[in-house]
Amino acid sequence: MTGSTLFQAAGLERGAPRPLADRLRPETLADVVGQGHLLGPDGALTRMLRTNSLGSLIFWGPPGTGKTTVARLLARETDLHFEQISAVFSGVADLKRVFETARARHETGKGTLLFVDEIHRFNRAQQDSFLPVMEDGTVTLVGATTENPSFELNAALLSRSLVLVFQPLDEEALAKLLDRSEEVEGKPLPLDADAREMLLGMADRDGRALLTLAEEVWRAARPDEVFDPAGLQQVVQRRAPLYDKGQDGHYNLISALHKSVRGSDPDAALYYLARMLDAGEQPLYIGRRLVRMAVEDIGLADPQAMVVALAAKDAYDYLGSPEGELALAEATVYLATAPKSNAVYTAFKAATKVAKERGSLVPPKVILNAPTKLMKGEGYGSGYRYDHDEPDAFSGQDYFPEQLGRQTFYDPPERGFEREVRKRLDYWAKLRKERGG
């Protein structure tokens, strides 16, 4: 096969069309979809451009939401030279070269908009290197990140920048992109209505991914062929959900699962559990978090909750996937439908606070052991009343240090099993008052 034929087979011959996502790249800010809160009539970026007050920015949002495109168009709107680097491929030498070029350009009266993709990948020292050129106006920095800037960027860099959040594209924005892609291709996408809706879901709110999937559909379709959902699944490899187990996607979904359980919504809890498992989360991590939910949000309102959560973890450990996942689902439903109480959680926090604030107070001598004659002589253990020998097996003694006095941390609600605990505590309080304890 000749070199020319090889290029033709790969679709790389001279004149081959650029990728659809590149051909559909907006030419004006008005063409950008899905970011109306930034680019609409009252959007943050619109106001900056209207008042000629564009400063350094951090674009925070998931892939395929237009961060790079908007940065490029901002440079065009403000007549700044557009310079782009990626923190993945750039080092100190690259930054120094870019800064020197921008400084020389600045001296001639031309400003530079420096777009730094994945800026969170620069280390702290590299991030600090931006500060001088930002402060003296050499560059207007626009950094893009998919990670939470509060955790990944220096405080000094953040204090000199405005963070703008790019939203994942909703179904309306994705549908607009598909409509535009059909205009550019000059033909409809060969999908029926159900398959078209499925394609929007497969894109996972990522515009670039949607257009890549659409290209695959056009390439796979024979003349006059229209795919239904089953056909679409055959020709398009399902895109992995947007989920980074070490970053925001991970924490957002586990937070959603936890709050759904706490809110007694088993359906929402099952949905987020399925989302996490589908995205490849470690099931034993989920099992550990279910145990945490049982002790934090259910507690003694249903003492079986922790037993069920631990059993589900052990069941998954024993069965593996996929059978063990059903045990996690069962525990999730049990926890979501159990009576809720954070009384123990709140009580322990309060007790910990007092323990830290009041220091090493000595327990009352009456409840201390006296293994030596000296300790007996000092009154250790003197007057201690053995509860089992008392009426109702309750002496009512004060067990707190004398300098602290009696405290109340645990206040169980009238829910679930804690309703019975409440009755016991009230009864003992009555006895303590009667017996002067």
> How many of the other CB atoms lie within 10 Å of CB of 38?
22
The pLDDT value recorded for residue 238 is 56
DSSP 336-355: HHS----HHHHHHHHHHHHH
- pTM, 2 dp: 0.62
pLDDT exceeds cutoff 90 at 303: yes
Tell whether 40 and 154 lie within a shared domain: yes
% of the chain surpassing 70 pLDDT: 92
Torsion angle, alpha carbons of 94, 99, 104, 108, to 10: 130
The pLDDT value recorded for residue 90 is 84
Phi, psi of 408 (to 5 degrees): -125, 115
How many domains is the chain built from? 4
Among 307, 337, 367, residue at a domain's last position: 337
The pLDDT value recorded for residue 247 is 56
The pLDDT value recorded for residue 7 is 41
- Please give the span between the terminal C-alpha atoms of the chain, in angstroms, as a whole number: 98
Q: What is the CATH number of the domain that holds 372?
A: 1.10.3710
Tell whether 216 and 155 lie within a shared domain: no
Tell whether 303 and 317 lie within a shared domain: yes
Confidence grade of residue 267 (pLDDT, cut at 50, 70, 90): very high
Whether cis (ω within 30° of 0) applies to the bond prior to 339 is no
Most confident of 40-44, 170-174, 245-249, 329-333: 329-333
On whether residue 1 sits in a domain, the answer given is: no
Tell whether 196 and 159 lie within a shared domain: no
Could you list the residue range(s) of the whole structural domain that residue 218 is in?
A: 171-235
The pLDDT tens digits for 410-425 are: 999 999 999 999 999 9
The pLDDT value recorded for residue 237 is 64
Tell whether 231 and 261 lie within a shared domain: no
Q: Which of 38, 31, 40, 68 is nearest to 54 (CA)?
A: 38
The pLDDT value recorded for residue 9 is 41
76-85, 221-230, 306-315 — which is least confidently predicted?
221-230
Among 118, 134, 165, residue at a domain's last position: 165
Among 303, 337, 371, residue at a domain's last position: 337
The pLDDT value recorded for residue 285 is 86
Confidence grade of residue 386 (pLDDT, cut at 50, 70, 90): confident
Tell whether 181 and 216 lie within a shared domain: yes
On whether residue 26 sits in a domain, the answer given is: no
Q: What is the CATH number of the domain that holds 198?
A: 1.10.8
- The set of residues, in sequence order, having a beta carbon less than 8 Å from that of 272 and lying 6+ positions away, is 253, 256, 257, 260
Indicate the pairing of strand 140-145 with strand 162-165: unpaired
Confidence grade of residue 436 (pLDDT, cut at 50, 70, 90): low
Q: What is the CATH number of the domain that holds 314?
A: 1.20.272.10
Q: Which of 262, 419, 265 is nearest to 340 (CA)?
A: 262
